[in-house]
Structure 1
Amino acid sequence: VHSNIDSSDSGSDASNVDTELDFGARLREARELKGITLNEIASATKISIGVLEALEQNDISRLPGGIFSRAFIRSYANAVGLDPEKAVREFLDEFSFEINKSSTSTRSTTSGHLTLTFEKEEDFESQRLMTRTLIRLLAVSVPLAGLIIYCGSGRQLDTVQNPLNSQPLSEPTPSISMSEMAGVSVNSNPLEDDETDLLLIDVHPAATCWVSLTVDGNLAFSRLMQPGDREVLQAREEIVLNVGDAGAFAFSLNQQLGKPLGSSGQVITVRINQDNVEDFVVQ
């Protein structure tokens, strides 16, 4: 830190400082002999008035510690006409008890009401933030990696491609084996009178989307679906949908177009039953 205060006449002033005074008092006396205010030193050295006051009051607990404290002492001493290196030595000698008591790792000591801290707080805070960020990244990346491995391993339930891919949704959908896997008994015509209470869901995402679908308490499938993929299932009681990207997901219920479940990138879980099925379709 450079000082703009003229110290050309420092020799005579510095020689008049009472050496019997403690360190802080010597600094204050040198400043007063020089006729300089703390505001002037703060303006010239860019050191806060609080730190300058701490130096004069021997309040070590308010100093940043380490090389910063020594740099502040040098700047202060130079501003008031004292030998900067001698001032640093006197500071270290006067507070040697606290310095020697501090450990090499933490460089932090306490004596009475004085605490001497030489740890660079900025580095500590930066490391703590970096560690916190790394933990958050791991928390997200580990489950994602597991999902990718799971989807790529082929460990998924067999799905049946609906033979009516090219036909409009207005036509009745035949029974499929996935429904049978979910524990639903299906006739050749799923819309016969005895099965009018069934929930028929047709899943056909518009973009790549992870989908997990549970029918009447049984997991039907859980996989990454691509545009053009399609799953048609029936349930008697409840359908539970877990969608990794609501904006890419598209479906129909009982041959009615389903409402958007959310925005792009939003993870959604919904439960559909006979009581709320109308809430999920376009009227």
Structure 2
Amino acid sequence: MSIGNSPEDERPFEDVSEEARPSIGRALKRARIDAGLTVDDVSSATRVRIAIVHAIEADDFAPCGGDVYARGHIRTLAKAVHLDPAPLLAQYDAEHGGRPAPTPAAPLFEAERIRPERRGPNWTAAMVAAIVAVVGFVGFTLFSGGDEGGAGTVADGSVPSTSEPASPTPKSKKTADPKPEPSDSAIAAAPQDKVTVQVRAADGRSWISAKDHNGRMLFDGFLKQGDSKVFQDSSKVHLVLGDAGAIDLYVNGKKIEDDFQPGSVERLTYTKGDPEAG
């Protein structure tokens, strides 16, 4: 008879906490299935490409293009499947060496680039040129009429005036009036039948993508610190912010006060009725 602990008590303690915790991809996939969603459903709701959703659920984060964007995708997918993203982000940081610094967004969104922004005709310049031509013609006509009147007076025997004919000052005044440069006040006076969005890189450099309600690309590129862009559409503007924490956002003349984190990727859509509050 042995005295002391039984053989079962003498077995070494086995910590199964790590083994019991599923991987990030497995947890996201399980939550998606429990929510009754397909990969297509999640991709449509989050605008994350299907191939990247499949890769993340297989714990392959290379297609994300960097740790900053992998964290952003994990947060977005977790919210879509009703999962708390904080534990998953902590698990990702522990497995990949901590939270990284923001990296350029170009490798991630290279496939989304469709074509450069197409500029329409400069109707303002055409209208100014037409006004100048009309004013010039009217001035020339008036000036010529004055000369003919003077010639008639000399023929009748009167003494012609020696003073110089008046110069067509209305023409010079109209052509010299510069067109005012657009300013931020134009945002506050944005038409109510359109949606107007201003994006300003206030705290650093950020990649920006903007599309109209038909999915046509309005802008795709980087904004340096201090730069800004204004987008306008009849019903809807879709935005992707590569580093949302560096951006100040104004919609229909009102500043959006969302607490965007540095390095986070945000996909946003605004309509002419936004913001509904604040």
Asked which structure has the greater CA Rg, the reply is: 1
Q: Give me the TM-score of the superposition, normalised by structure 2.
A: 0.38
Q: Give me the TM-score of the superposition, normalised by structure 1.
A: 0.37
Relative contact order higher in (CA < 8 Å, ≥ 6 apart):
2
